[in-house]
Amino acid sequence: MDERTLNSELEAGNFNLPLKPLHREAMLDLVLAWGTLDGVLGMLLQSS
């Protein structure tokens, strides 16, 4: 699906997310964990 088609589907409201709520929650947990690790690593490197 190209960008133009995706934008038109989103604007029309015809686009269904392929993710189930469980998958969405798992992805959010992964992103938050990655952000935490990134922040901790940044703090460690800053103090060195």
HSE of 15, CA atoms in CB hemisphere, 13 A: 11
Buried b (16+ CB within 10 A) or exposed e, 14-46: eeeeeeeeeeeeeeeeeeeeeeeeeeeeeeeee
**5-40 pLDDT, tens digit each:** 878 877 887 767 777 889 989 999 999 999 999 999
Distance of CA 8 to the CA centre of its chain: 21
Distances (CA, A) of 12 to 3, 9, 35: 14, 5, 33
pTM for this prediction:
0.52
**pLDDT at site 31:** 95
Give the number of residues written for the chain: 48
